[in-house]
Amino acid sequence: MEEQLLAFLKFLQQEYNYSNNTIAAYKNDLGQFMSYLQEHNLNSSGSWRSIGAEKINEYVSYMKDQPYASSSVARKVAAVKSFFNFLHSNQIIDENPTSDIDSPKVKKRLPKTLSSDEVERLLQAPSNKKSPKNLRDMALLNMLYSTGMRVTEVVSLRLEDVDLENKVLYCPGKEEQVRELPFDQYTKNILENYIEEGRPFLVKDKDETAMFLNHRGQQLTRQGLWLIIKAYAKEAALSVAVTPHTLRHSFAAHKLESGSDLQEVQKLLGHANISTTQIYTQLEESELTE
Protein backbone atom coordinates (compact mmCIF):
# COMPACT_ATOMS: atom_id res chain seq x y z
CA MET A 1 0.00 0.00 0.00
CA GLU A 2 2.87 2.32 0.83
CA GLU A 3 4.31 1.58 -2.62
CA GLN A 4 1.17 2.83 -4.37
CA LEU A 5 1.09 5.94 -2.21
CA LEU A 6 4.68 6.81 -3.15
CA ALA A 7 3.86 6.18 -6.82
CA PHE A 8 0.92 8.60 -6.55
CA LEU A 9 3.08 11.32 -4.98
CA LYS A 10 5.67 10.87 -7.72
CA PHE A 11 2.89 11.11 -10.33
CA LEU A 12 1.68 14.44 -8.86
CA GLN A 13 5.19 15.84 -8.97
CA GLN A 14 5.94 14.75 -12.54
CA GLU A 15 2.52 15.24 -14.13
CA TYR A 16 1.39 18.45 -12.42
CA ASN A 17 4.73 19.85 -11.24
CA TYR A 18 3.30 20.42 -7.76
CA SER A 19 5.52 22.18 -5.22
CA ASN A 20 7.23 20.33 -2.38
CA ASN A 21 4.75 21.88 0.07
CA THR A 22 1.76 20.58 -1.92
CA ILE A 23 3.28 17.11 -2.19
CA ALA A 24 3.95 17.15 1.57
CA ALA A 25 0.31 18.10 2.23
CA TYR A 26 -0.94 15.16 0.10
CA LYS A 27 1.47 12.82 1.87
CA ASN A 28 0.31 14.01 5.27
CA ASP A 29 -3.42 13.75 4.44
CA LEU A 30 -3.12 10.28 2.90
CA GLY A 31 -0.85 9.11 5.71
CA GLN A 32 -3.59 10.15 8.13
CA PHE A 33 -6.12 8.13 6.11
CA MET A 34 -3.87 5.06 6.22
CA SER A 35 -3.38 5.44 9.97
CA TYR A 36 -7.16 5.59 10.43
CA LEU A 37 -7.60 2.35 8.47
CA GLN A 38 -4.98 0.60 10.57
CA GLU A 39 -6.23 1.88 13.91
CA HIS A 40 -9.80 0.80 13.14
CA ASN A 41 -8.78 -2.58 11.64
CA LEU A 42 -10.38 -1.69 8.31
CA ASN A 43 -7.62 -3.06 6.15
CA SER A 44 -6.71 -6.56 7.32
CA SER A 45 -5.90 -7.69 3.75
CA GLY A 46 -3.27 -4.99 3.26
CA SER A 47 -4.63 -4.14 -0.21
CA TRP A 48 -6.38 -1.07 -1.58
CA ARG A 49 -8.85 -3.40 -3.31
CA SER A 50 -10.46 -4.13 0.05
CA ILE A 51 -11.26 -0.46 0.74
CA GLY A 52 -14.81 0.20 -0.41
CA ALA A 53 -17.15 3.19 -0.32
CA GLU A 54 -18.54 2.18 3.09
CA LYS A 55 -15.12 2.39 4.77
CA ILE A 56 -14.32 5.69 3.08
CA ASN A 57 -17.68 7.15 4.17
CA GLU A 58 -16.86 6.06 7.72
CA TYR A 59 -13.60 7.98 7.46
CA VAL A 60 -15.37 11.09 6.13
CA SER A 61 -17.85 10.94 9.05
CA TYR A 62 -14.96 10.47 11.47
CA MET A 63 -13.16 13.52 10.03
CA LYS A 64 -16.29 15.67 10.36
CA ASP A 65 -16.38 14.84 14.08
CA GLN A 66 -12.81 16.03 14.58
CA PRO A 67 -11.97 19.65 15.49
CA TYR A 68 -11.00 20.51 11.91
CA ALA A 69 -12.22 23.44 9.85
CA SER A 70 -14.58 22.36 7.05
CA SER A 71 -11.95 23.49 4.53
CA SER A 72 -9.39 21.12 6.09
CA VAL A 73 -11.82 18.19 5.98
CA ALA A 74 -12.66 19.00 2.35
CA ARG A 75 -8.96 19.04 1.46
CA LYS A 76 -8.31 15.70 3.16
CA VAL A 77 -11.29 14.08 1.43
CA ALA A 78 -10.18 15.55 -1.92
CA ALA A 79 -6.74 13.97 -1.41
CA VAL A 80 -8.34 10.55 -0.82
CA LYS A 81 -10.56 10.92 -3.90
CA SER A 82 -7.57 11.93 -6.06
CA PHE A 83 -5.60 8.95 -4.80
CA PHE A 84 -8.35 6.46 -5.63
CA ASN A 85 -8.79 8.05 -9.06
CA PHE A 86 -5.09 7.38 -9.60
CA LEU A 87 -5.42 3.76 -8.43
CA HIS A 88 -8.38 3.17 -10.74
CA SER A 89 -6.75 4.87 -13.74
CA ASN A 90 -3.70 2.66 -13.30
CA GLN A 91 -5.86 -0.49 -12.94
CA ILE A 92 -4.61 -1.13 -9.41
CA ILE A 93 -8.26 -1.35 -8.32
CA ASP A 94 -11.21 -2.49 -10.45
CA GLU A 95 -13.69 0.16 -9.30
CA ASN A 96 -13.33 3.60 -7.82
CA PRO A 97 -15.08 3.57 -4.40
CA THR A 98 -15.00 7.38 -4.16
CA SER A 99 -17.06 8.03 -7.32
CA ASP A 100 -20.26 8.78 -5.39
CA ILE A 101 -18.66 10.32 -2.32
CA ASP A 102 -19.29 14.04 -2.00
CA SER A 103 -16.72 16.40 -0.57
CA PRO A 104 -17.88 18.40 2.47
CA LYS A 105 -19.35 21.77 1.57
CA VAL A 106 -17.02 24.63 2.38
CA LYS A 107 -18.41 28.06 3.04
CA LYS A 108 -16.35 30.54 1.07
CA ARG A 109 -14.93 33.29 3.21
CA LEU A 110 -15.15 36.70 1.64
CA PRO A 111 -11.76 38.37 1.14
CA LYS A 112 -10.72 41.09 3.57
CA THR A 113 -10.38 44.51 1.96
CA LEU A 114 -9.44 48.01 3.06
CA SER A 115 -11.52 51.13 2.57
CA SER A 116 -10.17 53.82 0.24
CA ASP A 117 -9.18 55.88 3.28
CA GLU A 118 -7.30 52.94 4.85
CA VAL A 119 -5.48 52.25 1.58
CA GLU A 120 -4.43 55.90 1.36
CA ARG A 121 -3.07 55.85 4.93
CA LEU A 122 -1.11 52.67 4.20
CA LEU A 123 0.33 53.95 0.91
CA GLN A 124 1.42 57.22 2.52
CA ALA A 125 3.04 55.60 5.57
CA PRO A 126 6.54 55.30 3.96
CA SER A 127 6.53 58.99 2.97
CA ASN A 128 7.53 60.05 6.49
CA LYS A 129 11.20 59.62 5.50
CA LYS A 130 13.04 60.01 2.20
CA SER A 131 15.55 57.17 2.42
CA PRO A 132 16.27 54.63 -0.37
CA LYS A 133 14.32 52.04 1.64
CA ASN A 134 11.30 54.34 2.01
CA LEU A 135 11.36 55.27 -1.67
CA ARG A 136 11.35 51.53 -2.44
CA ASP A 137 8.46 50.91 -0.07
CA MET A 138 6.41 53.78 -1.53
CA ALA A 139 6.87 52.29 -5.01
CA LEU A 140 6.23 48.76 -3.78
CA LEU A 141 2.95 49.50 -2.00
CA ASN A 142 1.64 51.68 -4.81
CA MET A 143 2.56 49.06 -7.40
CA LEU A 144 0.70 46.35 -5.46
CA TYR A 145 -2.45 48.43 -5.12
CA SER A 146 -2.49 50.11 -8.53
CA THR A 147 -2.04 46.83 -10.47
CA GLY A 148 -3.48 44.09 -8.23
CA MET A 149 -0.37 41.95 -8.67
CA ARG A 150 0.20 38.79 -6.64
CA VAL A 151 2.96 38.78 -4.03
CA THR A 152 5.19 36.43 -6.04
CA GLU A 153 4.64 38.51 -9.17
CA VAL A 154 5.69 41.80 -7.62
CA VAL A 155 8.86 40.44 -5.98
CA SER A 156 9.75 38.70 -9.27
CA LEU A 157 9.39 41.92 -11.27
CA ARG A 158 12.47 42.85 -13.33
CA LEU A 159 13.52 46.29 -14.54
CA GLU A 160 12.84 45.33 -18.14
CA ASP A 161 9.25 44.34 -17.28
CA VAL A 162 8.27 47.97 -16.69
CA ASP A 163 7.57 50.43 -19.50
CA LEU A 164 7.51 53.79 -17.74
CA GLU A 165 6.90 55.81 -20.90
CA ASN A 166 3.66 53.97 -21.70
CA LYS A 167 2.74 53.38 -18.02
CA VAL A 168 2.38 49.63 -18.40
CA LEU A 169 4.18 46.63 -16.95
CA TYR A 170 4.44 43.10 -18.31
CA CYS A 171 3.67 40.72 -15.51
CA PRO A 172 4.74 37.08 -15.91
CA GLY A 173 2.03 35.17 -14.05
CA LYS A 174 0.86 31.60 -13.68
CA GLU A 175 1.47 29.07 -16.49
CA GLU A 176 3.95 31.47 -18.13
CA GLN A 177 1.17 33.83 -19.20
CA VAL A 178 2.16 37.49 -19.37
CA ARG A 179 -0.40 40.14 -18.43
CA GLU A 180 -0.20 43.79 -19.45
CA LEU A 181 -1.02 45.88 -16.40
CA PRO A 182 -1.52 49.64 -16.77
CA PHE A 183 -0.72 52.04 -13.94
CA ASP A 184 -1.48 55.72 -13.40
CA GLN A 185 0.73 58.81 -13.59
CA TYR A 186 1.06 59.01 -9.80
CA THR A 187 2.44 55.47 -9.60
CA LYS A 188 4.75 56.23 -12.54
CA ASN A 189 6.21 59.23 -10.68
CA ILE A 190 6.79 57.23 -7.50
CA LEU A 191 8.35 54.34 -9.43
CA GLU A 192 10.57 56.70 -11.42
CA ASN A 193 11.69 58.34 -8.19
CA TYR A 194 12.62 54.99 -6.68
CA ILE A 195 14.53 53.81 -9.78
CA GLU A 196 16.52 57.05 -10.00
CA GLU A 197 17.05 57.97 -6.35
CA GLY A 198 16.42 54.84 -4.28
CA ARG A 199 17.41 51.66 -6.10
CA PRO A 200 21.00 52.81 -6.97
CA PHE A 201 21.74 52.98 -3.22
CA LEU A 202 20.37 49.46 -2.61
CA VAL A 203 21.91 47.59 -5.53
CA LYS A 204 25.23 45.85 -4.90
CA ASP A 205 25.67 43.92 -8.15
CA LYS A 206 25.45 45.99 -11.35
CA ASP A 207 24.01 42.95 -13.16
CA GLU A 208 21.08 42.60 -10.71
CA THR A 209 17.83 43.15 -12.63
CA ALA A 210 15.23 42.66 -9.85
CA MET A 211 13.09 45.77 -9.46
CA PHE A 212 12.65 45.61 -5.69
CA LEU A 213 15.77 44.93 -3.62
CA ASN A 214 16.40 44.20 0.05
CA HIS A 215 19.18 45.75 2.18
CA ARG A 216 21.64 43.17 0.81
CA GLY A 217 20.99 44.31 -2.76
CA GLN A 218 19.18 41.07 -3.62
CA GLN A 219 15.66 40.43 -4.88
CA LEU A 220 13.12 41.08 -2.14
CA THR A 221 11.51 37.89 -0.80
CA ARG A 222 7.84 37.16 -0.12
CA GLN A 223 8.60 37.09 3.59
CA GLY A 224 10.43 40.40 3.37
CA LEU A 225 7.46 41.97 1.60
CA TRP A 226 5.07 40.62 4.24
CA LEU A 227 7.15 42.17 7.04
CA ILE A 228 7.27 45.52 5.22
CA ILE A 229 3.49 45.67 4.87
CA LYS A 230 2.94 44.52 8.44
CA ALA A 231 5.18 47.33 9.74
CA TYR A 232 3.46 50.05 7.70
CA ALA A 233 -0.02 48.77 8.59
CA LYS A 234 0.96 49.22 12.24
CA GLU A 235 2.40 52.67 11.52
CA ALA A 236 -0.82 53.66 9.72
CA ALA A 237 -2.80 52.46 12.77
CA LEU A 238 -5.02 50.18 10.70
CA SER A 239 -7.44 48.21 12.84
CA VAL A 240 -7.65 45.24 10.43
CA ALA A 241 -4.98 42.64 9.78
CA VAL A 242 -3.18 43.48 6.52
CA THR A 243 -1.30 41.03 4.31
CA PRO A 244 0.19 41.58 0.84
CA HIS A 245 -2.91 39.93 -0.62
CA THR A 246 -5.15 42.47 1.15
CA LEU A 247 -4.02 45.11 -1.37
CA ARG A 248 -4.85 42.76 -4.26
CA HIS A 249 -8.31 42.16 -2.81
CA SER A 250 -8.80 45.89 -2.26
CA PHE A 251 -7.69 46.66 -5.83
CA ALA A 252 -10.31 44.25 -7.22
CA ALA A 253 -13.12 45.43 -4.96
CA HIS A 254 -12.45 49.11 -5.62
CA LYS A 255 -12.22 48.50 -9.39
CA LEU A 256 -15.69 46.95 -9.42
CA GLU A 257 -17.06 49.70 -7.17
CA SER A 258 -15.78 52.33 -9.61
CA GLY A 259 -17.62 50.72 -12.53
CA SER A 260 -15.11 48.32 -14.13
CA ASP A 261 -16.78 45.21 -15.53
CA LEU A 262 -16.09 41.72 -14.22
CA GLN A 263 -14.23 40.51 -17.33
CA GLU A 264 -11.84 43.48 -17.18
CA VAL A 265 -11.02 42.81 -13.51
CA GLN A 266 -10.63 39.09 -14.25
CA LYS A 267 -8.07 39.91 -16.95
CA LEU A 268 -6.13 42.29 -14.69
CA LEU A 269 -6.01 39.78 -11.84
CA GLY A 270 -5.05 36.91 -14.12
CA HIS A 271 -7.87 34.64 -12.97
CA ALA A 272 -8.35 31.59 -15.19
CA ASN A 273 -12.05 31.33 -14.25
CA ILE A 274 -14.43 34.25 -13.87
CA SER A 275 -16.06 32.45 -10.92
CA THR A 276 -12.92 33.32 -8.92
CA THR A 277 -13.42 37.01 -9.69
CA GLN A 278 -17.14 36.89 -8.89
CA ILE A 279 -16.41 36.60 -5.18
CA TYR A 280 -15.70 40.34 -5.19
CA THR A 281 -19.24 41.03 -6.37
CA GLN A 282 -20.45 39.00 -3.36
CA LEU A 283 -18.29 41.24 -1.19
CA GLU A 284 -20.00 44.31 -2.61
CA GLU A 285 -23.46 42.79 -2.03
CA SER A 286 -22.46 41.85 1.53
CA GLU A 287 -21.43 45.44 2.28
CA LEU A 288 -24.70 46.76 0.85
CA THR A 289 -26.65 44.32 3.02
CA GLU A 290 -24.77 45.45 6.12
Catalytic residue (one of 81, 179, 188, 271): 271
- Is 40 among the catalytic positions? no
Catalytic residue (one of 179, 248, 249, 254): 248
Catalytic residue (one of 55, 88, 222, 245): 245
Catalytic residue (one of 174, 204, 215, 234): 174
Phi and psi dihedrals of 285, rounded to 5?
-65, -40
- Is 108 among the catalytic positions? no
- Is 109 among the catalytic positions? no
What is the torsional sign of CA 27, 29, 35, 38?
negative
- Is 36 among the catalytic positions? no
Catalytic residue (one of 76, 81, 136, 150): 150
- Is 280 among the catalytic positions? yes
**Residues assigned a catalytic role:** 150, 174, 245, 248, 271, 280
